[in-house]
Amino acid sequence: MSAQKKPRVAKAVARKSSPAATRRERVQSKEDAIIAAAHKSLTTRGFTKTTMSEIARKAGVAEGTLYLYFNNKNALARAVLAAFYKRLTETAKVGVGKCATTREKLEFLARHHLESIIGERRLLELISSDVRNTEAYEGSDIYKMNREYVAVFDDVMRDGIWCGEIEEGAAQWIKRDIFFGSLEYSMRTLLMKKRSSKKDITAVVTELVKLLMDGAGAQFEPMSNHDLIKAVERVDAAAIRLERLSAVKM
């Protein structure tokens, strides 16, 4: 037994979590720490450049420990994404609740979505690249989270149709795609501009909602109520003159 493996000595690291916590609580807080560390790395450096050892270091655990909590790098990324969706859905619901009209709700949702995905743009990588392809997307956590999130939009649209603010048109899922698709693409464009300002975001939001509610086609010069009333008044005045005329002659 000569070249036996050297037994590793525990470094007696001070517990990060409160020592009095139960085992379950300690495990939970460690999971949170890992997700937080992963979130930070993923959002600042992107999926590919983020290494597991980096996450482990940030979270204050050994590399192997990550794999006790998540099967692999993708699963960890998915957990981060799930947490993001949860926050996103929550704030979206709250915000919509404070709006009165359908237009206000849509504008809030659009702005909220756009600002959020600009802030955490690196997370969207995960959706389009590895995460969606690695496993059966349908039935996954992310899929459910996404469903729950876009349901907020669906509800707004349903209400809008119900109270006549929106015309009941084609399949709902198409409008949903138009809404979220436009915003994600706009994000890319905004990020490419030298200084994407608040004004740009407002422009995108306004135009998108305008399109969803009013359309962008050249209207065929609809007459305004004002014009119509003036025209009617003139006719009215003419009729009165005629009435007077015939009354005098009678």
Partner DNA sequence: ATATATAATGAATATCACTCAGTGACTAAA
Partner DNA sequence: TTTAGTCACTGAGTGATATTCATTATATAT
| CA proximity to 16, closest of 70, 51, 61, 50 | 61
Closest distance to DNA from the beta carbon of 106 (Å): 39
- Are 27 and 15 in contact by the 8 Å Cβ rule? The answer is no
Distances (CA, A) of 198 to 114, 116, 188: 11, 13, 15
| 104 lines the binding site for a second copy (CB under 8 A) | no
What H or E segment, with its residue span, contains residue 117? Answer: helix 102-119
| 119 lines the binding site for a second copy (CB under 8 A) | no
Q: Binders of a second copy among 156-185, rule CB under 8 A?
A: 164-167, 169-171, 173-178, 180-185
Q: 215 is in the binding site of which of a second copy, DNA, none (Cβ under 5 to 8 A by kind)? A: a second copy
- Please say whether the dihedral angle defined by the alpha carbons of residues 125, 128, 132 and 138, taken in this order, is positive or negative: positive
Q: 217 is in the binding site of which of a second copy, DNA, none (Cβ under 5 to 8 A by kind)? A: a second copy
Phi-psi region of 215 (alpha: psi -120 to 50; beta: other; left: phi over 0): left
Binding site for DNA (CB under 7 A): 5, 7-13, 15, 19, 22-24, 26-27, 30, 50-53, 61-65, 67-69, 71-74
Closest distance to a second copy from the beta carbon of 121 (Å): 10
Q: 162 is in the binding site of which of a second copy, DNA, none (Cβ under 5 to 8 A by kind)? A: none
| 189 lines the binding site for a second copy (CB under 8 A) | yes
Q: Binders of a second copy among 124-143, rule CB under 8 A?
A: 124-125, 128-130, 132-133, 137-138
Q: What gap in Å lies between CA 15 and CA 60, rounded to an integer?
A: 10
Contact region with a second copy (CB under 8 A), list: 5-13, 31-39, 63-71, 122-130: 122-130
What do you get for the CA distance between the two ends of the chain, in Å?
135
- Are 33 and 7 in contact by the 8 Å Cβ rule? The answer is no
Distances (CA, A) of 225 to 180, 213, 218, 232, 233: 35, 20, 19, 10, 12
Contact region with a second copy (CB under 8 A), list: 3-11, 28-36, 89-97, 225-233: 225-233
Binding site for a second copy (CB under 8 A): 46-48, 124-125, 128-130, 132-133, 137-138, 164-167, 169-171, 173-178, 180-186, 188-189, 192, 203-204, 206-208, 210-225, 228, 231-232, 235, 238-239, 242-243, 245-246, 249-250
